Structure 1
């Protein structure tokens, strides 16, 4: 069987669609749920979403988004955004407000609740090819319910057009919160696979783009708390539900209030560990640093909950603080996009800079190029 891979940065184009499909299906078919996230606007997330949707013509795809992701024109540069094509047999979860003007090409299967701006949530079965604007639930509870309903109506795969700074999807199928739809439909309630899109629009120079991209890739490679507990004599596995902010001192967890929790009166000097229930931001980090409350270990729920600037992240690492994750979704692949309003960068240059540091394949879905890290070759 032929292998079509960009090895040693020599461009080898996929000569036909069957070879391209085989290469990507080998990577992603084991993941029944994919969440597509972009590091910035215009990094090719929707293009990747469309390309990977097309790889599963024989499955019942359930398509939705986290919030509204179907604008016709870019809000910053006003250039046309790619539509989301749909095909007969697919299922779509969207809001009533964003239905196509024509009432043909789909059948309504279910309607529930009522978003104050978007109207009721709808599940539609597509009966004719067309384009859709997706506007799905933005809260974790609504998203779980919507995906469960998609499965109940026969979806065999779920593809979610999401965003890295929206935290809901990362915890969709954690062991702590299994999706009832997956259980009823007989699916494994594993974490979703993440398709991460980066590209020239992330910055004004190749150096900035690479630094920002590698930072996010590093977050997806952080150790999990369960692995540390299982492989060391760590005391971090004491009884704590991890449903609230908390700190660890002398092997005892103490709960922190959700408000003003970083005041020095609430945390002792140099705690052994701190758990953050919500987002880990520069404001939290700098407040802890200023008040000498930085712990030996910081525990957060997922990579998407780390919203530090690159400068703060580098400062944290320089202090030898260990960051642990409760949940680490599987990063399946990274897609590359050359587009920039002034200085486009060929994906070959992006791949050459990123590949030595990544553990997952890099893909240019428009040019049908794949670069595999060493362990995939």
Structure 2
């Protein structure tokens, strides 16, 4: 089954996120665009950053360009449109702005290359995605820029494609290990519906919930560097701790070192995009009995592989895919460089 067939008709809005720069995220986007054209699927396309430029503005390395076909709907900036050679019809100028101008919605009249620079917030992205569907897109693709894994937020997109590749490490086993770890975090189980409803009433507050389902809000703006304070609010009756923002290794380390009751609780985060814990630390915390659930599980529709690194080394593509298939059995894996 082709990648496009795995997502078309199942979902309306799909994000593409990369494990690192040059992991093959834009190559994945181009593969879907090309296959959608041949299957007569009208796409909506946007980005959380800047994509489609011929040279990376950070590393000065060559980047894959983005070619769009007639009738595609794009959400990009006024400044980005001027950089491409596709002919577009402006459908709407929005009030959303970036450093490259207002974000506009446009229909491609004559195919060509484009640059895409889209919304900066999750709410803006949700609105733009719906607008593209309203203008006739059958499937919306959101290209998540570097360090914008938050575009996989399940309140924004229905499914996510995770792009990984040799750029992560010269060691293939390490790449597979890190990919499996990211997939595990994004796919964490959701908390029970009863606790979810309780948390949603105070969704922006760090909270401790006890065995009687009573809620104690912790007066903190962030959990960062606050593990000890959160631990001070946990007692023998506590059963859940909800962290609304980013959840990092230090917070969890301080929490577990500051209370003996940590084994009695489940830690709840909004979704896996908010968790920043390395594979090694994750393993250590799991051995200590730490349980982490999410309010909303990220739906990973596929994993794509790029066996080539811009540093000049590469993996044997068949071996790379076979090994990834061996360790990741519940998500389809595609080599988009074939």
Query: Is it true that 1:365 corresponds to 2:336 in the alignment?
Result: yes
User: Any idea what the Cα deviations from partners look like across 1:44-67, whole Å, max 9, x if unmatched?
Assistant: 110010101222222321100112
CA–CA separation in structure 2 for the residues paired with 1:103 and 1:342: 31
Query: Is it true that 1:329 corresponds to 2:295 in the alignment?
Result: no
1:275 to 242, 245, 254: 242
- Worse-matched range after superposition: 63-72 or 162-171: 162-171
CA–CA separation in structure 2 for the residues paired with 1:346 and 1:338: 7
Match of 2:229 in 1: 264
Query: Is it true that 1:200 corresponds to 2:200 in the alignment?
Result: no
1:288 to 239, 255, 267: 255
User: Any idea what the Cα deviations from partners look like across 1:118-165, whole Å, max 9, x if unmatched?
Assistant: 211101110111111111102011111211221222222101101584
CA–CA separation in structure 1 for the residues paired with 2:107 and 2:93: 12
TM-score (norm 1): 0.78
Equivalent positions of 1:279-318 (< 5 A) are: 279-292=246-259, 294=262, 296-318=265-287
Match of 2:71 in 1: 89
Q: Match of 1:336, SS?
A: strand
Aligned residues of 1:222 and 1:323 also touching (Cα < 8 A): yes
Match of 1:160 in 2: 142
- Worse-matched range after superposition: 326-335 or 269-278: 269-278
Match of 2:323 in 1: 353
CA–CA separation in structure 2 for the residues paired with 1:158 and 1:319: 41
Classify 1:70/1:247 alpha carbon distance in 2 versus 1 (closer, same or farther; 3 Å).
farther
Aligned residues of 1:140 and 1:172 also touching (Cα < 8 A): no
1:45 to 9, 21, 25: 25
Aligned residues of 1:138 and 1:168 also touching (Cα < 8 A): no
Say what the alpha-carbon RMSD is for the aligned residues: 2.4
Aligned residues of 1:92 and 1:123 also touching (Cα < 8 A): yes
Classify 1:365/1:258 alpha carbon distance in 2 versus 1 (closer, same or farther; 3 Å).
same
Count of residue correspondences: 323
Classify 1:120/1:237 alpha carbon distance in 2 versus 1 (closer, same or farther; 3 Å).
closer
Match of 1:27 in 2: 6
Match of 1:100 in 2: 82
CA–CA separation in structure 2 for the residues paired with 1:135 and 1:116: 8
Q: Give the superposition deviation at 1:281.
A: 1.1
Classify 1:308/1:164 alpha carbon distance in 2 versus 1 (closer, same or farther; 3 Å).
farther
User: Any idea what the Cα deviations from partners look like across 1:185-204, whole Å, max 9, x if unmatched?
Assistant: xxxxxx52211111100113
- Worse-matched range after superposition: 81-90 or 248-257: 248-257
The structure in which a higher percent of residues are strand is: 2
Q: Match of 2:152, SS?
A: helix
- Extract unaligned runs of 5+ from structure 1: 1-21, 175-190, 230-234, 368-377
Classify 1:307/1:82 alpha carbon distance in 2 versus 1 (closer, same or farther; 3 Å).
same
Query: Is it true that 1:344 corresponds to 2:317 in the alignment?
Result: no
- Worse-matched range after superposition: 212-221 or 258-267: 258-267
Classify 1:192/1:96 alpha carbon distance in 2 versus 1 (closer, same or farther; 3 Å).
same
CA–CA separation in structure 1 for the residues paired with 2:84 and 2:248: 44
Query: Is it true that 1:150 corresponds to 2:112 in the alignment?
Result: no
Q: Give the superposition deviation at 1:170.
A: 3.0
Classify 1:119/1:75 alpha carbon distance in 2 versus 1 (closer, same or farther; 3 Å).
closer
Q: Give the superposition deviation at 1:222.
A: 2.0
Aligned residues of 1:273 and 1:299 also touching (Cα < 8 A): yes
Q: Give the superposition deviation at 1:76.
A: 6.1
Q: Match of 1:195, SS?
A: strand
Aligned residues of 1:165 and 1:304 also touching (Cα < 8 A): no
CA–CA separation in structure 1 for the residues paired with 2:47 and 2:83: 20
